[in-house]
């Protein structure tokens, strides 16, 4: 499937097969989750990042089913570049109505970046002015976990983490995704 038809598929799923909801409710709910974690963990932002990633991972494991059903995608992605395309144009489009740009491919085609021009989770957000949050907190870290969990369900072990975030004062919001390996069907996922 070509990249353009992917984009069309994403649009179509969003327009015709997606029940929608007030975006502000999602944004504020996510905000409440992050703020509460920061409080519960007493400003240990490294741990907050970890928890957000974990929550996202749990979501990813379940979300893939919804994704496959709605997108009606039959065949597996041919390669990791293909996968990147689907994540951006169909996955993000379907759930968050955004299409992050794919950039910065590594020469071996195993690493790429998602560039977020928009990020509905971070609308209204300014990080705490405590001299720490802007250096340590990845506010939208749940998204990394979602990708990691969802791809694991389709036999791909990846590493996903943010490397830039406009909330930290950077000029871009960038998530780096690296393929670790394709998981063999015979082996249990946690067997390393």
d(CA 121, CA 140): 7
> Is residue 153 a contact point for other proteins (CB under 8 A)?
no
**Residue 189 interacts with other proteins (CB under 8 A): yes or no:** no
| 156-164 vs 174-182, strand pairing mode | antiparallel
Instruction: Give CA–CA dist 186/82, Å, rounded.
Output: 24
Rounded to an integer, what distance in angstroms lies between the CA atom of residue 163 and that of residue 174?
Answer: 6
Q: Of 109, 161, 101, 169, which is closest to residue 133 (Cα–Cα)?
A: 169
Window 168 to 187, contacts with other proteins (CB under 8 A): 168-172
The answer to whether 101 contacts other proteins (rule: CB under 8 A) is no
Instruction: Choose the stretch contacting other proteins; rule: CB under 8 A; options: 72-80, 101-109, 130-138, 180-188.
Output: 130-138
Answer for which of 6, 14, 83, 85 binds other proteins (CB under 8 A) is 14
Cβ 156 vs Cβ 183: under 8 Å: yes
42 binds other proteins (CB under 8 A): yes
For residue 24, state whether it binds other proteins (rule: CB under 8 A): yes
Options 33-41, 106-114, 155-163, 181-189: segment touching other proteins (CB under 8 A): 33-41
- Is residue 23 close enough to count as binding other proteins by CB under 8 A? yes
Cα separation, 15 vs 42, in Å, equals: 42
Structure tokens at 43: 């400003």
Q: Map residue 42 onto helix, strand or coil.
A: coil
Does the protein bind other proteins through residue 50 (CB under 8 A)? no
For residue 103, state whether it binds other proteins (rule: CB under 8 A): no
Q: How far apart are CA 77 and CA 163, in angstroms?
A: 26
Span near other proteins by CB under 8 A; candidates 4-12, 88-96, 100-108, 153-161: 88-96
| Token pair recorded at residue 153 | 């369900």
Binding site for other proteins (CB under 8 A): 14, 18-36, 38-40, 42-43, 51, 55-56, 58-59, 62-63, 66, 94-97, 120, 123-134, 142, 166-172
């Amino acid at each position: 499937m070509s990249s353009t038809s992917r984009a069309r598929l994403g649009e179509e799923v969003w327009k015709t097969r997606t029940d929608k909801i007030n975006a502000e409710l999602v944004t504020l709910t996510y905000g409440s989750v992050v703020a509460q974690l920061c409080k519960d963990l007493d400003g240990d932002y490294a741990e907050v990042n970890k928890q957000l990633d974990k929550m996202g991972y749990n979501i990813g494991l379940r979300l893939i089913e919804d994704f496959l059903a709605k997108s009606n995608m039959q065949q597996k992605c041919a390669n990791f570049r293909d996968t990147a395309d689907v994540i951006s144009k169909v996955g993000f489009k379907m759930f968050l109505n955004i299409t992050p740009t794919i950039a910065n491919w590594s020469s071996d085609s195993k690493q790429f970046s998602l560039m977020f021009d928009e990020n509905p989770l971070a609308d209204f957000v300014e990080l705490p002015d405590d001299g720490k949050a802007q250096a340590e907190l990845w506010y939208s870290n749940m998204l990394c976990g979602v990708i990691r969990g969802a791809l694991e369900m389709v036999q791909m072990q990846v590493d996903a983490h943010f490397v830039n975030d406009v909330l930290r004062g950077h000029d871009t919001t960038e998530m780096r995704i690296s393929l670790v390996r394709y998981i063999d069907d015979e082996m249990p996922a946690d067997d390393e």
